[in-house]
Amino acid sequence: MTTVTESVDVNVPVTTAYNQWTQFESFPQFLDQVEDIRQVDSTTNHWRVKIGGAVREFDTVITEQHPDERVAWKSVAGDVVHAGVVTFHRLSDDSSRVTVQFDWQPGDAMEKVGAALGVDDHAVKKDLRNFKEFIEAQPAETGAWRDDVDRGGVA
């Protein structure tokens, strides 16, 4: 397994950053490798990504979600094995820190070489910069999903 951890400070309140992050279908607007995300139900998403020219599809399930604090997930089916968490930290009334941490299993030789060279770290750092630009340019978040998900499901 390979672990990636990156953070970005955004000039929006923590609620705004969190609300936008829960709009998974907007991810292709700021995550470069994500081509499409379709929300299947309140905790399951189907992803299509393009990594090193190869298209991969997989499903994830939200394992834990607490408004303005965290969203955790794991893959449950498909071409990619990974799990992670995004945490949201209030820095001030108008700024917050978004931290992404995930573990993933490189599939083929190219992914293994890329992970060893830190390509995944650089990609996540770039995606977080893209998120910062995206959320700071919006007059408001594009939506919100504020239900609480404990490890047993939606509360």
CATH homologous superfamily for the domain 2-20+61-139: START domain (3.30.530.20)
The model's pLDDT over 108-147, given as tens digits with 9 standing for 90+, comes to 677 667 666 667 778 899 999 999 999 999 989 999 988 8
* Alpha-carbon torsion, ordered 4, 9, 14, 16, to 10 deg: -100
Q: Which helix (H) or strand (E) holds 77?
A: strand 70-78
The CA distance from 2 to 112, in Å, is 9
- CA separation, residue 55 to residues 50, 52, 58 (Å): 4, 8, 10
* pLDDT, the chain, mean: 90
Q: What angle do CA 49, 53, 57 make, to 5 degrees?
A: 30
